[in-house]
């Protein structure tokens, strides 16, 4: 009996040790197909992988869930009574990982850093905040912005220069302002903040995960914040692994990849059926909101006839059917059918090669530029095939296109320097707030298109003052009709991108929006 009891006790102890080890070693590997440019919350760019990696460390104020609703993160609420002054109420329980409360002073401090010309946050439209200049700057070194007022420890107000819809403010500032700890960074020179090494592995955070190791070209390793105020994550380790799109299927099959989220990881369309057939993962088709946007630098391609020829000379329907197999939709312009502001009145421009040839001939006779460079994202191989086909077809009608396939990081550099004639990239315009991106993309000199018109400017401004969905829809219709006529942007197609999650995970469903909102509740069965 003593020997039996000893064996039982030994087995119980061993089982307990194994269970503890299993809990400690829980890890989730997220497959992504784009490299990261930064982990600094003050220097985020427009790529989704950077946004989500940073937001796990420094929470946004609010986030969109899978139902396209803004839900609390660091903030309990954002409200306005006049579309000019916005009240941000932080969650009472919000604390930094060192136990210090997250305060309104932290938010105001972060906004002042972002508006300082030596540490400017280019992702935030600070030019819209009262107290900044036309470029969104304050005097370098200034402690605050006059349009930002701290009310109490957990409340502040932000006043804008012009009417701004609540959904736009929530999307602009709520989702892309990553508050940093004033008590840690207040003595750091602002000119050093954008390259401050502390952000590579910060020891005071507000989010569910610390950064433990990284190589921006290959991976980011994260470890759970046991003091996360919304609850300690059940998964101790979370890894973003950069892999080629062509390797997604193999990684999901082998179990080396646990999750593919639609906007950070790209599963090639030709692998969709194979992924859906895997018995160890669940495939989830995303709502078609990711637009394969083709941006034309109108300063370089100044003849509108050449741009119109590009639109009507692309056999988009054939490419969509052949390469996507119906996984998505075709639209003209920016607004997709999932948006509350979609209008069927617009229609889709038909393929008309004869019209395209005539437009090219007319433009060429007048000396227009007809040798163009088209930059393509190397991780979007499927659309790269379409571009090769289009280039061959255009060559036959007198328009020569040189294709340059580059990484996303290089593409963003090219776009930022306005070196492109044409560039294409997957772009997800938040259906509830297309204004944010559209207003920038059609913002004239300095934007990726270089395009601006009084009609589109007026329509976009009105979209911010109106509250009736039907009236707002009419304003976006004006913008999309301008894209049909002036052609600064072409929608190649809209993807219903495929996500996938390992069946060993619970509490997570990959979605275009909302996947990481409650990451602390994810678990491994």
Average pLDDT estimate for 254-280: 93
Convert the pLDDT of each residue in 290-305 to its tens digit: 899 999 999 999 999 9
Provide, rounded to the nearest whole percent, the portion of the chain with pLDDT above 90: 84
CATH 3.10.105.10 boundaries in the chain? 290-495
Convert the pLDDT of each residue in 194-211 to its tens digit: 999 999 999 999 999 999
- Structural class in CATH, domain 290-495: alpha beta
User: Which residues have CB under 8 Å from 453's CB, separation 6+?
Assistant: 442, 482, 486
Task: Give the separation between CA 382 and CA 384, rounded to whole angstroms.
Answer: 5
Q: How high is the pLDDT of residue 101?
A: 98
Nearest Cα to Cα of residue 59 among 96, 92, 27, 87: 96
Convert the pLDDT of each residue in 214-264 to its tens digit: 999 999 999 999 999 999 999 999 999 999 999 999 999 999 999 999 989
Q: How high is the pLDDT of residue 14?
A: 36
Q: How high is the pLDDT of residue 497?
A: 86
Q: Which residues pair with 329 in a beta bridge?
A: 494
Nearest Cα to Cα of residue 127 among 413, 476, 436: 436
In the predicted structure, residue 2 carries a pLDDT above the cut 80 = no
Q: How high is the pLDDT of residue 47?
A: 83
Task: Give the separation between CA 459 and CA 37, rounded to whole angstroms.
Answer: 34
Q: How high is the pLDDT of residue 17?
A: 33
Nearest Cα to Cα of residue 519 among 238, 99, 98, 213: 238
Q: Which of 14-18, 184-188, 438-442 has the lowest mean pLDDT?
A: 14-18
Residue 373 CB-density burial (10 A; 0-12 exposed, 13-18 middle, 19+ buried): middle
Average pLDDT estimate for 502-506: 97
CATH 3.90.76.10 boundaries in the chain? 59-185
Q: How high is the pLDDT of residue 122?
A: 85
Q: What is the dihedral of CA 459, 46, 58, 125, to 10 degrees?
A: -40
In the predicted structure, residue 8 carries a pLDDT above the cut 50 = no
In the predicted structure, residue 326 carries a pLDDT above the cut 70 = yes
Q: How high is the pLDDT of residue 109?
A: 98
Among the CATH numbers 3.40.50.720, 3.40.190.10, 3.10.129.10, 3.30.300.130, which is that of 207-286+498-524? 3.40.190.10
Going by pLDDT thresholds of 50, 70 and 90, the confidence category of residue 24 is: low
Averaged confidence pLDDT in the chain: 92
CATH number of this structure's domain 59-185: 3.90.76.10
Convert the pLDDT of each residue in 77-132 to its tens digit: 999 999 999 999 999 999 999 999 999 999 999 999 999 999 999 889 999 999 99
Evaluate the CA torsion angle 173, 66, 50, 457 in order and state its sign. Answer: negative
Provide, rounded to the nearest whole percent, the portion of the chain with pLDDT above 70: 95
Task: Give the separation between CA 137 and CA 124, rounded to whole angstroms.
Answer: 11
Task: Give the separation between CA 365 and CA 250, rounded to whole angstroms.
Answer: 52
């Amino acid at each position: 009996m003593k020997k039996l009891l000893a064996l039982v006790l030994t087995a119980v102890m061993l089982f307990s040790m194994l269970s503890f080890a299993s809990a400690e070693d829980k890890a989730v590997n997220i497959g992504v197909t784009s490299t990261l440019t930064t982990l600094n919350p003050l220097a985020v760019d427009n790529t989704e992988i950077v946004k989500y990696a940073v937001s796990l460390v420094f929470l946004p104020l609010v986030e969109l869930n899978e139902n396209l609703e803004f839900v609390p993160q660091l903030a309990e609420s954002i409200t306005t009574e006049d579309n000019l002054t916005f009240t941000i109420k932080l969650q009472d329980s919000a604390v930094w990982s060192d136990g210090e409360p997250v305060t309104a002073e932290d938010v105001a401090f972060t906004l002042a850093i972002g508006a300082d010309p030596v540490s400017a946050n280019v992702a935030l439209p600070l030019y819209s905040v009262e107290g900044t200049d036309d470029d969104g700057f304050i005097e370098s070194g200034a402690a605050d912005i006059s349009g930002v007022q701290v009310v109490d420890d957990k409340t502040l107000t932000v006043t804008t220069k012009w009417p701004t819809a609540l959904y736009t403010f929530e999307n602009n500032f709520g989702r892309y302002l990553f508050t940093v700890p004033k008590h840690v960074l207040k003595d750091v020179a602002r000119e050093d903040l954008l390259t401050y090494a502390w952000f590579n592995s910060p020891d005071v955070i507000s989010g569910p995960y610390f950064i433990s190791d990284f190589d921006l070209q290959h991976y980011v390793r994260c470890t759970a914040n046991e003091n996360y105020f919304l609850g300690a994550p059940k998964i101790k380790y979370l890894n973003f692994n950069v892999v080629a799109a062509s390797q997604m299927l193999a990684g999901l099959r082998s179990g080396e990849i646990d999750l593919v989220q639609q906007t950070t990881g790209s599963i090639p369309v030709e692998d969709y059926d194979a992924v859906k057939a895997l018995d160890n993962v669940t495939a989830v088709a995303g709502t078609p909101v990711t637009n394969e946007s083709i941006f034309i630098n109108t300063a370089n391609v100044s003849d509108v006839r050449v741009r119109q020829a590009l639109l009507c000379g692309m056999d988009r329907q054939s490419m969509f059917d052949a390469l996507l197999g119906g996984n998505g939709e075709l639209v003209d312009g920016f607004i997709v059918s999932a948006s509350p502001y979609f209008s069927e009145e617009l229609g889709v421009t038909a393929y008309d090669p004869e019209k395209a040839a005539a437009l090219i001939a007319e433009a060429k006779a007048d000396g227009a530029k007809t040798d163009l460079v088209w930059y393509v994202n190397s991780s979007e191989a499927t659309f790269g095939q379409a571009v090769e086909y289009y280039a061959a077809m255009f060559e036959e009608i007198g328009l020569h296109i040189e294709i340059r396939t580059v990484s996303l990081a290089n593409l963003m550099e090219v776009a930022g320097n306005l070196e492109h004639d044409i560039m294409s990239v997957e772009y997800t315009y938040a259906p509830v707030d297309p204004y944010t991106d559209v207003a920038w993309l059609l913002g004239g000199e300095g934007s990726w298109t270089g395009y601006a018109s009084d009609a589109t400017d007026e329509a976009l401004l009105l979209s911010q003052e109106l509250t009736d969905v039907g009236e707002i829809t009419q304003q976006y219709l004006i913008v999309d009709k301008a894209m049909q006529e002036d052609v600064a942007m072409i929608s190649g197609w809209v993807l219903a991108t495929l996500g996938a999650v390992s069946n060993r995970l619970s509490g997570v469903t990959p979605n275009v929006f909302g996947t990481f909102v409650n990451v602390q509740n994810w678990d491994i069965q």
